[in-house]
Structure 1
Amino acid sequence: MRNRALLTFMLGHFTVDMYGGLLPVLYPLMALEFSLTKEAVGLVALAFTATSSIVQPIFGYLADRFGSRVLAPASVAWAALMVAVAGLAPTLGFLMLAASLAGLGSGAYHPLGAASASAVTGDLQKNTAMSIYTVGGSVGYALGPLLGALAFGAIGPAGSVFMLPIGLVSALLIARSLRGLPARVAGRGGSVADASHGRERIAWRGLLPVVGVTMLRSWVTLSLITFIPLWYADLGYSASFYGPLTTLVIGAGALGTLLGGLLADRFGQRRVLMLSLVGALPALLLFVGVPGPIALLTGALYGMLADSSLSITLVMAQRALPGRTGMASGFILGLGFVTGGIGVPLVGRLADQVGMPMALSSLSVLLVLAVALALLIPRDASQRAAVPQAAGARGDD
Structure 2
Amino acid sequence: MSSTAIQIKKQTGNELATTYRVLFIIGFCHLLNDTLQAVVPAMFPILEKSMSLSYTQIGIIGFALNMVSSVMQPLVGWYTDKKPMPYALPAALASSLCGMVLLAVAPSYGTVILSVMLIGIGSAVFHPEGSRVAFMAAGPKRGLAQSIYQVGGNSGQALAPLITALVLVPIGQRGAIWFVPVAACAVLLLTYIAKWYSAHLTIFTPKKKAGGQSNTKIGSKIKAALILILFIIFARSWYIACMTNFYAFYIIEKYDFSIKTSQIYLFAFLAAGALGTFFGGPLADRYGRKKVILFSLAGSAPLTLLLPFVPASVSLILLFIIGFILMSSFSVTVVYAQELVPGKVGTMAGLTVGLAFGMGAIGSVALGKLADVTSLATTIQIVGAMPFLGLLSLFLPSDKELAEWHSN
What's the offset of the Cα at 1:9? 1.5
Partner of 2:269 in structure 1? 249
The CA RMSD over aligned residues, in Å, is: 2.4
User: Is contact 1:206–1:378 with CA below 8 Å preserved after alignment?
Assistant: yes
Partner of 2:246 in structure 1? 227
Partner of 1:378 in structure 2? 397
> How far does the alpha carbon of each residue in 1:306-349 deviate from its partner, in whole angstroms, 9 at most, with x for none?
10011111011111221110111111111221112101221111
Partner of 1:55 in structure 2? 72
What's the offset of the Cα at 1:245? 2.0
> How far does the alpha carbon of each residue in 1:8-50 deviate from its partner, in whole angstroms, 9 at most, with x for none?
2212211121122222120111111221111111111111010
User: Quick one: which of 334, 341, 348 aligns to 1:321?
Assistant: 341
Secondary structure of the corresponding residue to residue 49 of structure 1: helix
Partner of 1:121 in structure 2? 138
The 3 A distance-change label for structure 1 pair 238 and 129 is same
Partner of 1:350 in structure 2? 370
Number of aligned residues: 382
Partner of 2:284 in structure 1? 264
User: Quick one: which of 214, 237, 242 aligns to 2:233?
Assistant: 214
What's the offset of the Cα at 1:249? 0.9
d(CA) in 2 for partners of 1:75, 1:54? 15
Task: Within 5 Å, give how 1:151-230 maps onto structure 2.
Answer: 151-181=167-197, 183-185=199-201, 195=207, 203-230=222-249
Partner of 1:92 in structure 2? 109
What's the offset of the Cα at 1:238? 2.1
Name which of structure 1's ranges 175-184 and 280-289 shifts more when overlaid on structure 2.
175-184
What's the offset of the Cα at 1:3? 0.9
User: Is contact 2:143–2:332 with CA below 8 Å preserved after alignment?
Assistant: yes
User: Quick one: which of 24, 27, 33 aligns to 2:50?
Assistant: 33
Gaps of at least 5 residues in structure 2 are: 1-17
What's the offset of the Cα at 1:283? 2.1
User: Is contact 1:57–1:331 with CA below 8 Å preserved after alignment?
Assistant: yes
Secondary structure of the corresponding residue to residue 323 of structure 1: coil
User: Quick one: which of 15, 20, 25 aligns to 1:3?
Assistant: 20
| TM-score under structure 1 length normalisation | 0.89
- Letter paired with 1:241: T
User: Is contact 2:55–2:368 with CA below 8 Å preserved after alignment?
Assistant: yes
Partner of 1:80 in structure 2? 97
User: Is contact 2:289–2:399 with CA below 8 Å preserved after alignment?
Assistant: no
User: Is contact 2:288–2:399 with CA below 8 Å preserved after alignment?
Assistant: no
d(CA) in 2 for partners of 1:71, 1:386? 34
User: Is contact 1:289–1:357 with CA below 8 Å preserved after alignment?
Assistant: no
- Letter paired with 1:328: M
Partner of 2:37 in structure 1? 20
What's the offset of the Cα at 1:56? 0.1
- Letter paired with 1:347: L
Partner of 2:4 in structure 1? none
Partner of 2:15 in structure 1? none
d(CA) in 1 for partners of 2:192, 2:348? 27
What's the offset of the Cα at 1:108? 1.3
- Letter paired with 1:134: Q
User: Is contact 2:281–2:331 with CA below 8 Å preserved after alignment?
Assistant: yes
Partner of 1:392 in structure 2? none
d(CA) in 2 for partners of 1:325, 1:381? 20
Partner of 1:290 in structure 2? 310
d(CA) in 1 for partners of 2:307, 2:383? 12
- The question of 1:66 aligning with 2:83 is answered yes
- Letter paired with 1:260: G
d(CA) in 1 for partners of 2:312, 2:101? 32
User: Is contact 1:10–1:133 with CA below 8 Å preserved after alignment?
Assistant: yes
The 3 A distance-change label for structure 1 pair 382 and 246 is farther
Secondary structure of the corresponding residue to residue 120 of structure 1: helix
Partner of 1:237 in structure 2? 257
| TM-score under structure 2 length normalisation | 0.87
d(CA) in 2 for partners of 1:118, 1:310? 15
Name which of structure 1's ranges 306-315 and 241-250 shifts more when overlaid on structure 2.
241-250
What's the offset of the Cα at 1:142? 0.7
User: Quick one: which of 364, 380, 386 aligns to 1:360?
Assistant: 380
The 3 A distance-change label for structure 1 pair 138 and 196 is farther
User: Is contact 1:215–1:337 with CA below 8 Å preserved after alignment?
Assistant: no
Identity %: 29
What's the offset of the Cα at 1:146? 0.8
- The question of 1:337 aligning with 2:353 is answered no
Partner of 2:9 in structure 1? none
Name which of structure 1's ranges 125-134 and 288-297 shifts more when overlaid on structure 2.
288-297
User: Is contact 2:298–2:390 with CA below 8 Å preserved after alignment?
Assistant: no
The 3 A distance-change label for structure 1 pair 35 and 321 is same
The 3 A distance-change label for structure 1 pair 299 and 222 is same
- Letter paired with 2:151: V
d(CA) in 2 for partners of 1:237, 1:163? 27
- Letter paired with 1:384: A
Secondary structure of the corresponding residue to residue 346 of structure 2: helix
